Chains A and B, each alone.
Chain A
Amino acid sequence: MLDISALSRAYDGTLVVDGVTFRVEPGRMTGFVGANGAGKTTTMRMILGVLAPTSGEVLWDGEPITTAQRRHIGYMPEERGLYPRMKILDQLVFLARLHGVDRAAAARRATDLLEHFDLADRAGDVLDTLSLGNQQRVQIAAALIHRPDALVLDEPFSGLDPLAVDAMAGLLAKEAGDKPLLFSSHQLDLVERLCDDLVILSHGKVVAAGAVDELRGRGPERYRVVLDGDGDDAAWIRGIGGVEVRDVDGPTAVVDLAGLSASALLSALVATSPVREFSAVRQPLSDIFREVIR
């Protein structure tokens, strides 16, 4: 279990990460989202210890994380980096050995990972000669090469086509297993699909954190109503008390409950007009995101 506790970082007196606190639970994928410059990368670099925090700390199983424990984190930095002129198998083995894996085990593991990405036949090629998508795959392999105890991945899906995203997500789910996994992304639909937990950062501060379902549930219950009457105009719904009408478009309205229960709303509706459709609306993550960073 990875705890980020009141982590702050100032550059030239300006706080770019301000008292960030959240938990990355083992066995759950935690998405880390926020606008550009919100402080995601800075936070991740502090978790890995490549950047010193101005204040705050990182805890591993409740204790301040040690250097040795940090070395067991699989890390994929925002700015991709591998040796451009080194053979991909060689550099994976090199990185694994730096993490203390012996040469033979490192070679087996690297070969397995390359096979997973269908890159086994490119093992002897230098990184430079691979397509960008394949370089990205090697980069992920580099983060996984030493069977890390936790994963911190900065934008692991950027630059991948949808099929590659699926393959990568499948591999991450499998590799993470019961370990903590934190990844940042701009692709909210992807985060919504993959993540169990979510941390939203805005201007260096955590504005929302928790299970995705719980965050969704935090907003008002929302229903979509389609009337089947003659007038084809749902504007009159605004007259019902205990609800907030978000949008009306002809016979269709989107209504947030504000005190009234769903069945009471339905009763009020059918009392006035036939109803063709009455359905709960799951708020897309992007709405939650827009609301909390506002």
Chain B
Amino acid sequence: MSITTSDQGRPDAGAKQSGVRGAWWIVAEREITTRVHEKSYVYSALFMLVAVVATVVLTSVLGGRPTDHTVAVAVTDADAAAVVASASRVVDRTDDGSSATAKEFASPKEAEQAVEDGDADAALIASHDGYEVVGDSEVDGTLSSALATVASAAALEGNARAQDVDLEQLQRGAAVTERLLDPESEDAGARSLVATVFVILFYLTAVTFGMSIAQSVVQEKESRIVEILAAAVPIRAMLWGKIAGNTVLALGQILVLAVAGIASMAAVGETGLLSAIGPAVAWYVLFFVLGFVALAGLWAVAGSLASRTQDLGSTTMPGQVLLFAPYLIAIVAGEGIKTVVSMLPIVSAMLMPSRMAEGGVPAWQVGTALVVNVIGAVLIVRFAARLYERTLMRTERRIGFGEALRLSD
């Protein structure tokens, strides 16, 4: 067999040079295609997807899920049906879509039977001095008080009219309205749960793809292909390629998780939570990208300091700590510390959006965090690139961070 010696397809010198300039993208492409073909990657992504959907569904089930109450009334009692209709507006006081519907039965006895059979949540039956709310083993508190309030108000109105009393006069000074000082904290429990879940998922995603950068670098050192690569493209092109490829993967995963989270919130009807959390999710994605890029350089350095995969445990420690710290702070620290830390580079990537999900973050703090992150990312990546260039070709043993700093170029 022979080798065709035609020069067909061989670019001229100029084209070759431009090809080298685009080398980072070829490196990035390999990072991406290699990774998405790995089973471990697919499984971990699926796991996180399930975790997000499960969290949203559980939050919704455990939290105030809209309930449609069915109240059995006797067909002869038109007043009772009117009371249930009014009560429906009361049970939906929190705008969560709850309602109460009257279901008519031939007699009070049949209405009671419907409750016993589970066909109705409660029955509203006229008694000798008003109404009786009949439940099976218990009656939903909200429904019960709604029915009681409406029924007594209706009775009061009827009595007042019968005795020719001015109802408005009678009720003067008795009106009690509700005003919330912090309306956003209404579903604080759900919001803080969602915030925590996001912090954990972002932490996991950042560690997964950070480690993937470090592994990809050390595997090239271990297999010695790094020498061929370094002879083919500038070392920096390899670094940019790895950062770009893994950032695309991490961002892709985060976007899928965010979309899955929003879609499942919409699906279970958590529109209130969605409108409160939605913008925070968008911020999460933005901060995540900035934080990930900033840290990506350090992950690559962790790989280039190691000489074997086993060395990664120690060389990736700084990266792991930088990621774990905000995770820990987000969970245990007080407000003051959280506020300051949420404006520092890298660590803010998780803390700031998580604070925003909880609500009440001044705009200037968000702006500061963004600017600090962008500057931090640029400085850290440039610093990391220098360490990476110095250490990548040293394959014989593990190098410490301090030693790498002292190395000359």
Which A residues fall within an 8 A CB radius of B? 45, 48-51, 67-68, 70-73, 75, 77, 79-84, 86, 94-95, 97-102, 104-106, 108-109, 112-113, 115-116, 118, 142-143, 147, 171, 174-175
Question: In the bound complex, what is the Cα–Cα distance between A285 and B228 (angstroms)?
Answer: 31
B184-224 interface mask toward A, CB cutoff 8 Å, 1 = contact, 0 = none? 00000000000000000000000000000000000110011
Q: In the complex, what residue of chain A is closest to B395 when comparing beta carbons?
A: A79
Structural contact, B2 and A116, CB atoms closer than 8 A? yes
Structural contact, A94 and B3, CB atoms closer than 8 A? no
> Is B26 among interface residues, defined by CB-CB distance under 8 A?
yes
Structural contact, A67 and B234, CB atoms closer than 8 A? yes
Question: In the bound complex, what is the Cα–Cα distance between A142 and B231 (angstroms)?
Answer: 12
Cβ–Cβ < 8 Å partners of A143 in chain B: 228
Cβ–Cβ < 8 Å partners of B234 in chain A: 67
> Is B39 among interface residues, defined by CB-CB distance under 8 A?
no
Known: A99-B19, A116-B2. Contact between A71 and B233, CB under 8 A? yes
Known: A48-B231, A49-B231, A81-B228. Contact between A72 and B10, CB under 8 A? no
Q: Among residues 1 to 50 in chain B, which have CB atoms less than 8 Å away from a CB atom of chain A?
A: 1-5, 7-11, 13, 15-20, 23, 26-27, 30, 34
Cβ–Cβ < 8 Å partners of B18 in chain A: 100
Structural contact, A116 and B3, CB atoms closer than 8 A? yes
Kindly identify which residue among A73, A79, A95, A105 contacts B227, using a CB–CB cutoff of 8 Å. A79
Cβ–Cβ < 8 Å partners of A102 in chain B: 9, 11, 19
Contacts beyond the supplied A94-B26, A143-B228: 11 A-B pairs with Cβ under 8 Å: A68-B13, A75-B227, A81-B220, A82-B228, A100-B18, A100-B20, A102-B19, A106-B9, A108-B4, A115-B1, A174-B5
Known: A75-B231, A81-B223, A118-B1. Contact between A101 and B10, CB under 8 A? yes
A152 to chain B, nearest CB (A): 9
> Is B225 among interface residues, defined by CB-CB distance under 8 A?
yes
User: Could you list 23 examples of A-B contacts with CB < 8 Å?
Assistant: A50-B230, A51-B393, A67-B234, A71-B232, A71-B233, A75-B228, A75-B231, A79-B227, A80-B224, A82-B225, A86-B34, A97-B26, A100-B18, A100-B20, A101-B9, A101-B10, A101-B11, A105-B9, A113-B3, A147-B7, A147-B10, A174-B5, A175-B3
Cβ–Cβ < 8 Å partners of B223 in chain A: 81-84
> Is B285 among interface residues, defined by CB-CB distance under 8 A?
no
Cβ–Cβ < 8 Å partners of A82 in chain B: 223, 225, 228
Question: In the bound complex, what is the Cα–Cα distance between A50 and B3 (angstroms)?
Answer: 29
Known: A80-B224, A101-B10, A116-B3. Contact between A71 and B30, CB under 8 A? no
Cβ–Cβ < 8 Å partners of A175 in chain B: 3
> Is B361 among interface residues, defined by CB-CB distance under 8 A?
no
Question: In the bound complex, what is the Cα–Cα distance between A164 and B248 (angstroms)?
Answer: 43
A166 to chain B, nearest CB (A): 15
Structural contact, B20 and A95, CB atoms closer than 8 A? no
Structural contact, B228 and A97, CB atoms closer than 8 A? no
> Is B377 among interface residues, defined by CB-CB distance under 8 A?
no
Question: In the bound complex, what is the Cα–Cα distance between A101 and B227 (angstroms)?
Answer: 19
Question: In the bound complex, what is the Cα–Cα distance between A143 and B232 (angstroms)?
Answer: 10
Cβ–Cβ < 8 Å partners of A94 in chain B: 26, 30
Known: A51-B393, A77-B224, A118-B1. Contact between A71 and B20, CB under 8 A? yes
Known: A94-B30, A98-B23, A100-B20. Contact between A171 and B3, CB under 8 A? yes
Question: In the bound complex, what is the Cα–Cα distance between A12 and B141 (angstroms)?
Answer: 82
A12 to chain B, nearest CB (A): 13
Question: In the bound complex, what is the Cα–Cα distance between A99 and B393 (angstroms)?
Answer: 19
Structural contact, A71 and B225, CB atoms closer than 8 A? no
Known: A100-B17, A113-B3, A175-B3. Contact between A50 and B10, CB under 8 A? no
B284 to chain A, nearest CB (A): 33
B18 to chain A, nearest CB (A): 7
Question: In the bound complex, what is the Cα–Cα distance between A72 and B229 (angstroms)?
Answer: 13
> Is B280 among interface residues, defined by CB-CB distance under 8 A?
no
Structural contact, A112 and B3, CB atoms closer than 8 A? yes
> Is B258 among interface residues, defined by CB-CB distance under 8 A?
no
Question: In the bound complex, what is the Cα–Cα distance between A94 and B233 (angstroms)?
Answer: 12
Question: In the bound complex, what is the Cα–Cα distance between A71 and B19 (angstroms)?
Answer: 11
Structural contact, A98 and B26, CB atoms closer than 8 A? yes
Known: A81-B226, A97-B26. Contact between A50 and B19, CB under 8 A? no
